[in-house]
């Protein structure tokens, strides 16, 4: 058995979390691919799209699931930020906990995360004492949302094609003037 710095063993710290792992696996089996771990072992949340359009309704309602006891009626707040936009504007970012689930109806990310940047989501459960957890690199929010990547070959072909056309127009004009 490993000893900690105080001379005791560290199995009690790990032993306190065994039940969360069991519940976590049960919940994820019931909802495969829908829920993701947060920074706290006591909370899960909905998986967000990796890239989304600003102020557009999410494809599914965002949920926060408590693995431990959180009283019904407890307010849950979601915030988003990163190093470029520390407190992004959100709409409908509060929900009420009921049966261990806080469901955010029509959560919208109005603020943008910045080119190539994703938001970290901070989830605050207004229990006593308050509990805070995070969902890192959760979602990238841009004005135009996800789009097909630009093909370098297509852009190059377009440039070559345009250059050839301009050359022939120039030659044609030189010939007749």
Number of structural domains the chain divides into: 2
Q: Which domain holds residue 87?
A: 34-146
Neighbours of 3 (CB within 10 A): 9
Return the structure tokens found at 104.
């955010």
pLDDT at 54: 95
Q: pTM of the entire structure?
A: 0.71
Residue range 156-173, pLDDT digits in tens: 555 666 666 666 666 656
The verdict on whether omega for the bond into residue 129 sits within 30 degrees of 0, i.e. cis, is: yes
Nearest Cα to Cα of residue 46 among 28, 29, 72, 25:
28
Q: In whole angstroms, give the CA distance from residue 53 to residue 111.
A: 10
Are 76 and 155 found together in one domain? no
């Amino acid at each position: 058995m490993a000893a900690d710095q105080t001379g005791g063993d560290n199995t009690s710290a790990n032993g306190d979390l065994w039940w969360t792992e069991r519940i976590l696996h049960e919940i994820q089996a019931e909802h495969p691919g829908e829920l993701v771990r947060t920074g706290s072992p006591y909370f899960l949340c909905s998986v967000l799209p990796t890239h989304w359009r600003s102020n557009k309704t999410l494809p599914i309602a965002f949920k926060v699931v408590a693995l431990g006891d959180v009283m019904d009626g407890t307010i849950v707040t979601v915030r988003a930020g990163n190093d470029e936009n520390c407190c992004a504007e959100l709409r409908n970012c509060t929900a009420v906990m009921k049966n261990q689930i806080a469901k955010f109806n029509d959560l919208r990310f109005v603020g943008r995360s910045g080119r190539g940047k994703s938001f970290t989501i901070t989830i605050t459960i207004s229990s006593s004492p308050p509990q805070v957890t995070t969902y890192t690199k959760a979602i990238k929010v841009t004005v135009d949302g996800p789009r097909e990547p630009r093909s370098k070959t297509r852009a190059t072909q377009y440039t070559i094609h345009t250059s050839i056309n301009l050359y022939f127009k120039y030659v044609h004009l030189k010939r007749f003037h």
